[in-house]
Structures are given as structure tokens and as C-alpha cells.
């Protein structure tokens, strides 16, 4: 039994009591892989934190396991969340694990197919609303508070507690914090959690803090524009959010770290996504590629100094969104089932 999971591994840093069930699906302890091609392109030392290797394929599992264990400890009868897809997949899996019912509110028609499949198969009650993520989150708050349903969005502080463990792992792997932590920003829970994690570890281990570089999609960049976006749009559906719940946390992370939050276009996201797959052998979902798109943009602008140690959080697995993958570059050749036909096609 090598896989301990986030609760057991990090219990001393988490609000765990003797009554908290030790749930796990084997989350956390994800690979930190050096990105050789990207390091050359940026003239920096770049590592990718592969959060798509978590049990449901995204970083959400780190926080969800803690939120779900606390919901069970506190006797919740059911949990509820709004989601652009990954939170719902994770909530559905961990609710099953904890023996709780799970209700999921999603913006109709705006969720990647793989994520939708997960929520259904794990047994959640999935309700699509005729509105966007921000509206779904408002409704989640309304129902959760009125009907004693535990809300497992990142407004639940236990979510952020679990998610901060990604920062611990990065420091343990590098034996220091990176100079820059780059990540996509949607509802802004993750940037808030990483900053909390680095700060807690810095106090314990006497390490320097990284700059936090967050990237939003240009059509859904309220933190860059400084005002909520009523009708956000982007190909990166995971971060199609116009009014982030952890707004203040994101601004604090940016300002206290001397970092930045900038926007990247859908074209830049698509190019970074293709670069990661074709040049690094890493298949992440479009939203995750926003972090790499942002770094490439900053380098083009001359705002990324050479020689920095950088970690990019690749937040979700590319398999979650097969439609995006196939729509962007589907060139499948169909051939007669003969060796000759294959030899001709391959110039052998
Ligand atoms: N990357 C992926 C793959 C995501 O699913 C999300 C958020 C983010 C980045 C942004 O993280 O919200 O903490 O700033 N997905 C949420 C969801 C909103 O419902 O699955 P954030």
C-alpha cells in the first residue's frame, strides 16, 4: 500500500480530527516533469505539474477529498456544487466514496463530454441549467444554505486546504519553491490555495516564495479587466467564468507575490495545447494550456527573464475533452486492410 492520499499524507497541515474519515482514491503525489522543449523555447528551466494524473483527471481531487471527508464528518445528507465540469466529476466520485448523495449544477451545453460522462457514471444527480457557471454557483449557494446541503465548490474552505498540498509537493520535489508558478485562473480557488500552501511551507521550511503568474482566457478575464464579465466566452470551457468566487484571494496572491494576472487568447491557448502534446508528449485540456500560453506570451513581450525556474500547473487531463482534440486536428486516414496499402501510405 504505497498510495496514502492527501488526507493521510498531509494530515498535520490539514484541519483533520479523530472523527474525520480517511477517504482516498489515491489523489495527490502527481509527477513534476521537466519540459525540455518548453525550457528551450523560454530559455528557462520549466517543469510541468501533471495534475491530470489525479484519480478523476484534475487537480480538484486534492481539495475534494478534504471537503467530502469534512462533509461526512459533519453529518451532511448530500453535497451540491456548480461546475464547468471538473469539480462535478470529482465531487461525484468522492461523494460515492463517502456514501453521500451528490447534486451537480452545470451550464447547459458548455461542459466537455468526458467530464459529463464522469459525473453520470459516478452516480451524481446532474442538472443542466439554462445559464452560465456564475449563475449555477449563485443557485448552488441559494439551495445549499436553505436546505442544509454541503457546498463543495471552492467557496468551501476545506477545498482550498486540500488544494494547497500541490504547493507542498512542488517544494519537496525541487527542494525549493520555483521563481514563478504559472497557472490558469477561473473561479480563482486554485491560485488562492497555491499561495496559501507556499506561504505555510515558507514559514516551516524557510524557503523563498514564488511569483504567482495567473492566466485567464481573454473572453473571460474579469481579474484582468477589473470588473465581472456578464457573458464570458472561450474555447477553454473549464475557465469560462465571469465573476470568480475567490476574487480577493487571487488579487492578494498576485500582489503579495509580486506576480501578475494576464489574459491569453483562444488562439494562444490552442497553440500552447498543441505544443505540449506534439513537443512534450503531454496531453492536457485546453484550460490547462493557458498557463503555458501565458508564459510564451510574456516571453514574446520580453517580460520573462532568462534562467528562471518555472512550474506550470497543468490542471486537467486532455482526455476530458476529446471533441476539442479531434475538432482542432482530426486527420484520420482510412485505408484498405492490406500490407501494400499501408506500405504505400507510409513510404516503406
Ligand atoms: N483548470 C481546469 C482544468 C479547471 O477545471 C479549472 C476550474 C481551472 C483550471 C481554474 O481553477 O477555478 O480554481 O481558478 N474548474 C472549475 C470546475 C471551475 O467547475 O471544474 P480555479
For residue 343, how far is its CA from the centre of ligand 1 (angstroms)?
Answer: 45
Let me know how long the chain is: 348
Element spanning 150, H or E: strand 150-151
* pLDDT tens, position by position, 123-150: 999 999 999 999 999 999 999 999 989 9
For residue 170, how far is its CA from the centre of ligand 1 (angstroms)?
Answer: 19
Cα distance between residue 6 and residue 25, in whole Å: 9
pLDDT confidence of residue 327: 81
Cα distance between residue 251 and residue 246, in whole Å: 9
34 touches 26 (CB < 8 A): no
Residue in the block written with cell 513534476: 32
pLDDT confidence of residue 335: 94
Nearest CA to ligand 1 atom 12: 187
HEC string of 279-294 equals HHCCCECHHHHHHHHH
Nearest-CA neighbor of 313 among 47, 110, 96? 47
Does the beta carbon of 315 lie inside 6 Å of ligand 1?
yes
- pLDDT by residue for the chain (348 residues), tens only, comes to 456 899 999 999 999 999 999 999 999 999 999 999 999 999 999 999 999 999 999 999 999 999 999 999 999 989 999 999 999 999 999 999 999 999 999 999 999 999 999 999 999 999 999 999 999 999 999 999 999 899 999 999 999 999 999 999 999 999 999 999 999 999 999 999 999 999 999 999 999 999 999 999 999 999 999 999 999 999 999 999 999 999 999 999 999 999 999 999 999 999 999 999 999 999 999 999 999 999 999 999 999 999 999 999 999 999 999 999 988 556 778 899 999 999 999 999
Nearest-CA neighbor of 62 among 145, 160, 151? 160
From 261, 315, 317, give the residue whose CB has the most ligand 1 atoms within 8 Å, as the site to mutate.
315
SS3 13: helix
In the DSSP assignment, the letter for residue 52 is G
Cα distance between residue 20 and residue 246, in whole Å: 26
* pLDDT tens, position by position, 62-84: 999 999 999 999 999 899 999 99
Cα distance between residue 231 and residue 218, in whole Å: 12
* pLDDT tens, position by position, 288-331: 999 999 999 999 999 999 999 999 999 999 999 999 998 855 67
Which numbered atom of ligand 1 lies nearest the CA of 193?
A: 13
Amino acid at each position: 500500500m504505497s498510495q496514502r492520499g492527501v488526507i493521510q499524507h498531509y494530515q498535520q497541515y490539514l484541519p483533520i480530527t479523530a472523527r474525520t474519515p480517511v477517504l482516498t482514491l489515491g489523489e495527490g503525489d502527481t509527477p513534476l516533469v521537466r519540459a525540455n522543449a518548453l525550457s528551450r523555447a523560454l530559455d528557462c528551466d520549466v517543469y510541468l505539474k501533471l495534475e491530470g494524473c489525479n484519480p478523476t483527471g484534475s487537480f480538484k481531487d486534492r481539495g475534494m477529498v478534504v471537503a467530502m471527508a469534512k462533509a461526512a464528518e459533519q453529518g451532511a445528507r448530500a453535497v451540491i456544487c456548480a461546475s464547468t465540469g471538473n469539480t462535478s466529476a470529482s465531487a461525484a466520485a468522492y461523494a460515492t466514496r463517502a456514501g453521500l448523495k451528490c447534486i451537480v449544477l452545470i451550464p447547459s451545453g458548455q461542459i466537455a463530454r468526458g467530464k459529463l460522462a464522469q459525473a453520470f457514471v459516478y452516480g451524481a444527480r446532474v442538472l443542466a441549467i439554462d445559464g452560465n457557471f456564475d449563475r449555477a454557483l449563485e443557485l448552488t449557494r441559494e439551495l445549499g444554505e436553505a436546505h442544509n446541503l454541503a457546498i463543495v465548490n471552492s467557496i468551501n474552505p476545506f477545498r482550498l486546504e486540500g488544494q494547497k498540498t500541490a504547493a507542498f509537493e512542488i517544494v519537496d520535489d525541487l527542494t525549493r519553491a520555483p521563481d514563478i508558478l504559472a497557472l490558469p485562473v477561473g473561479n480563482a480557488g486554485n491560485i488562492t490555495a497555491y499561495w496559501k500552501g507556499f506561504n505555510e511551507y515558507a514559514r516551516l521550511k524557510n524557503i523563498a516564495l514564488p511569483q504567482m503568474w495567473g492566466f485567464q482566457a481573454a473572453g473571460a478575464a474579469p481579474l484582468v479587466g477589473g470588473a465581472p464579465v456578464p457573458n464570458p466566452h472561450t474555447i477553454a470551457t473549464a475557465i469560462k467564468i465571469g465573476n470568480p468566487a475567490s476574487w480577493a484571494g487571487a488579487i492578494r496572491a498576485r500582489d503579495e507575490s509580486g506576480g501578475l494576472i494576464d489574459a491569453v487568447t483562444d488562439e494562444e491557448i490552442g497553440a500552447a495545447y498543441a505544443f505540449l502534446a506534439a513537443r512534450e508528449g503531454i496531453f492536457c485540456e485546453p484550460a490547462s494550456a493557458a498557463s503555458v500560453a501565458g508564459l510564451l506570451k510574456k516571453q514574446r513581450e520580453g517580460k520573462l527573464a532568462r534562467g528562471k525556474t518555472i512550474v506550470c500547473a497543468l490542471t486537467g487531463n486532455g482526455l476530458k475533452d476529446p471533441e476539442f482534440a479531434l475538432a482542432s486536428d482530426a486527420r484520420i486516414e482510412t485505408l484498405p486492410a492490406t500490407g501494400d496499402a499501408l506500405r504505400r501510405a507510409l513510404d516503406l
